[in-house]
Structures are given as C-alpha cells and as structure tokens.
Amino acid sequence: MGTRHVAIDTQLGPVTIVAKGEAIAGLYFRHHIRRPPQEAFGPEVGDVADPLLEEAVRQLGDYLAGRRRRFDLPLAAEGDAFQHAVWDIVKSIQCGDTTTYGRIAEQVGGRALAQRVGQAVGANPLCIFVPCHRVVAADGSLTGYAGGLKRKQALLEMEEPPADDAGRLF
C-alpha cells in the first residue's frame, strides 16, 4: 500500500496519522510546526478500512485515555542518520520520565551538539509515538514542541502517575 492517512479528533485537538506501506510515517496536529503539505499524506481512508491505521488510532486512544504507556507500532520516519540516532534515544524515554537536549547530545557525540539535537527533536514526524514531548531544557523548563507548548504540558501531566499509584507498574 502507498501513502495514506486518517484524521481523528482527540482531546488534544485534531490529529492526522500517516502511513506509508506497512509502517506509520507521521503523526501531526492541525497547526503542527513543520507539517508537510496535505497532499503529501496521500488519500484519506477510514481507520477501519486500513488495519495499520486502525491499530494506530486504537493505541493512540488508549494512550490518551491512560490505558497505554508505550506503543507497539511499526514506525518509519524519514530523516538522516543523526536524526534517527536522536529519535532512537527519544523512543527509549519511559512514560513519566524526561531527559534534556544536553543529555541526548552527550549520547550522540558531545554537549556541543545540543542545538543540533534540538533541531532533530523538532523535526520528529512521529510526535507522541516517538515521545519528543519528554525532552526538556536543562533547567527542566518546557521548550519547543511542534504541537505547541500547551500540548507538551498536557502530555507530560497526563503521564504523571497519580500520587496514590506512584511506583505501580502498568
């Protein structure tokens, strides 16, 4: 199958999920920074008409409802080797945790790469599925998120375990 997409409404606003072949290639908000042109998403299909998109919609819904903490989807983001190295690290950040651009830079070659790491994180076409909202500034403040800082804050708050469930594994 070629490129196709499904558009859904979520509590974070409208979301478009893009599939290419047998993998998910994008998740975009309506006013997403670096959102490709609509024609790049291929035809719109109903999620029930496409098993891969149906599963992506189901897993995203479960995550947003607090019933899922990680995704099990085939992902295929387009990017260069450096971006993929950064995104692989971002994928490993556990739900409820955060890291900094500087820590990721240290893992990919040195703190001097922090700005380049920030650019790679910002270019992530699979936000939420590759949880770039879990990357924060060195002082813990929220910086840059392609879906907007309000969404980043909402996602991080949603991932915090309730006070009485701290330490419980899902």
Hey, where are the domains in the chain?
Answer: 3-64, 81-161
Nearest to 12 by CA among 166, 118, 145: 145
Angle between helices 81-91 and 114-122 (to 10 degrees): 80
CATH level 2 (architecture), domain 81-161: Orthogonal Bundle (1.10)
Query: With b meaning 16 or more CB within 10 Å and e meaning fewer, what string describes 87-110?
Result: bebbbebebeebbbbbbbbebbee
User: Whole-prediction pTM value?
Assistant: 0.89
The answer to whether the beta carbons of residues 22 and 12 sit under 8 Å apart is no
Given this model, what pLDDT does residue 170 score? 40
Tokens of 30: 């309506």
Expressed in angstroms, the distance from the first to the final Cα of the chain is 34
Burial class (CB in 10 A: 0-12, 13-18, 19+), 131: buried
Given this model, what pLDDT does residue 119 score? 92
Given this model, what pLDDT does residue 164 score? 57
Given this model, what pLDDT does residue 162 score? 61
Tokens of 58: 């189901």
- 3-64 with 81-161: one CATH topology? no
CATH code, 3-64:
3.30.160
Report, as residue numbers or ranges, the catalytic residues.
132
Per-residue pLDDT of the chain (170 residues; tens, 9 = 90+): 799 999 999 999 999 999 999 999 999 998 877 888 888 999 999 767 899 999 999 999 999 999 999 999 999 999 999 999 999 999 999 998 999 999 999 999 998 999 999 999 999 999 999 999 999 988 888 887 777 789 889 999 999 866 655 554 44
